[in-house]
């Protein structure tokens, strides 16, 4: 009988994924180890494969302690927590889960936008608390119809959000580093775009290149009636500037699925009435997580079978 491939698991995986991997992989859970440094020093060299997710990625100490690592399969599309360039230089293939979550994350962005503009949480509270009987009708809210929607990052998910926005007769603008071959208005300057938007939806990757792209100037350009939706990474928005803008009324409202230091959300943000906060659940439905999990496992299976992966990150595409 051939020995199973040693797979290091970072973060949690579903039972379905466990079951799919069990036949070919001998799985060790990193977070089950109490002496992490001792474990990595003693056993790091055993592992040729890692399974992780977009949140945990591959921490530097793990990368450094796994000299025989050949493949990393990440359960998520965003891989800012993995040094993909460094991995590629070592010949390590990194895979992720593009496309299978486009619809779900786009739906979450729209859900947040409508929740903020129609003040769904406050209206729910009005209905439950007895305010409806005591005070009468809930105050009027703002429509999502015929607005100007700016998309920051018109990639796979951004394009799906643009499709959804057109259902609300929106005018869609977008900003990214380069214009795309699409029938939408490109804006080379983010502040300039924000000035013209009712809603700004952020869906770039995280990491150093996008750190605090959405800053005080962008938020002020969006303005007192403007709404910011962030379904990308917390790092893309300057959270301190965001809180200040929301507190002062310089920004109208925000719908946030992601935060700077997850799972910690600043108390000042939680105290605000003009925000809707989600605990990073953009892709978190049974159906979409199943598709993501299947692709995560299929990448590992393909590596065992053919020494390549199905959906490599761009930095590793030449190795796949
Ligand atoms: P994608 O197809 O690679 O699209 C990313 C877009 O961002 C591209 O249009 C890119 O265009 C633009 N971009 C990259 N760097 C930029 C910069 N510095 N300034 C302006 N635009 C920039 O990625 P995707 O599959 O749509 O996923 C996007 C991100 O969503 C993921 O990386 C992840 O962080 C996040 N996400 C979050 C959740 C959640 O649960 N909330 C779920 C899935 C994904 P240019 O290269 O032309 O700039
Ligand atoms: C996941 C995500 O929540 O795909 C991403 O980039 O942010 C989410 O779909 C994340 O990968 C943790 O599993």
Q: What is the pLDDT of residues 266-305, one digit of tens each?
A: 999 999 999 999 999 999 999 999 999 999 999 999 999 9
Rounded distance between C-alpha atoms, residue 173 and residue 141, angstroms = 24
**DSSP one-letter code for 261:** B
Q: How many residues does the chain have?
A: 320
Q: Is 185 a catalytic residue?
A: no
Ligand closest to CA 102:
1
Q: Is the pLDDT of residue 2 over 80?
A: no
Cβ(78) to ligand 2 under 6 A?
yes
The CB density around residue 133, as the number of other CB atoms within 10 Å, is: 8
Q: Is 96 a catalytic residue?
A: no
Instruction: Note the pLDDT of residue 32.
Output: 87
Mean pLDDT of 123-145: 98
Q: What is the pLDDT of residues 221-239, one digit of tens each?
A: 999 999 999 999 999 999 9
Q: Is 233 a catalytic residue?
A: yes
pTM comes to 0.98
The CB density around residue 292, as the number of other CB atoms within 10 Å, is: 26
204 Cα nearest atom in ligand 1:
7
Cβ(55) to ligand 2 under 6 A?
yes
> CA distances (Å), 179 to each of 175, 183, 198, in order?
8, 11, 21
Rounded distance between C-alpha atoms, residue 228 and residue 217, angstroms = 13
Mutate to test the pocket of ligand 2, among 12, 13, 14, 76 (most ligand atoms within 8 A of CB): 76
Mean pLDDT of 40-64: 97
């Amino acid at each position: 009988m051939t020995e199973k491939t040693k797979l290091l698991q970072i973060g949690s995986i579903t039972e379905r994924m466990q079951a799919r991997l069990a036949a070919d992989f001998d799985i060790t859970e990193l977070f089950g180890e109490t002496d992490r440094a001792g474990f990595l020093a003693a056993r790091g060299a055993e592992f040729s494969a890692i399974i992780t997710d977009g949140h945990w990625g591959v921490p530097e100490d793990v990368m450094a302690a796994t000299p025989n690592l050949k493949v990393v399969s990440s359960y998520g599309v965003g891989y800012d927590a993995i040094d993909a360039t460094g991995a590629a230089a070592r010949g390590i293939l990194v895979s992720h889960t593009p496309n299978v979550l486009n619809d779900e994350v786009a739906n979450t962005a729209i859900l947040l936008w409508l929740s903020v503009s129609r003040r769904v949480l406050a209206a729910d509270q009005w209905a439950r608390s007895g305010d409806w009987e005591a005070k009468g009708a809930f105050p009027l809210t703002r429509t999502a119809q015929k607005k100007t929607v700016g998309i920051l990052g018109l990639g796979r998910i951004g394009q799906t959000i643009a499709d959804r926005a057109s259902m609300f007769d929106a005018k869609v603008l977008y900003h990214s580093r380069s214009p795309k071959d699409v029938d939408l208005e490109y804006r080379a300057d983010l502040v300039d775009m924000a000035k013209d938007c009712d809603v700004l939806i952020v869906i770039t990757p995280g990491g150093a290149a996008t750190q605090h792209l959405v800053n005080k100037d962008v938020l002020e350009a969006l303005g007192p009636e403007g709404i910011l939706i962030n379904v990308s990474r917390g790092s893309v928005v300057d959270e301190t500037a965001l809180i200040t803008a929301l507190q002062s009324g310089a920004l109208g409202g925000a719908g946030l699925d992601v935060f700077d230091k997850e799972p910690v959300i600043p108390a000042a943000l939680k105290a605000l009435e003009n925000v809707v906060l989600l605990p990073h659940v953009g892709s978190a439905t049974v159906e979409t997580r199943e598709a993501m999990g299947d692709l995560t496992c299929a990448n590992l299976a393909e590596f065992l079978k053919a020494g390549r992966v199905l959906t490599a990150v761009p930095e590793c595409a030449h190795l796949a």
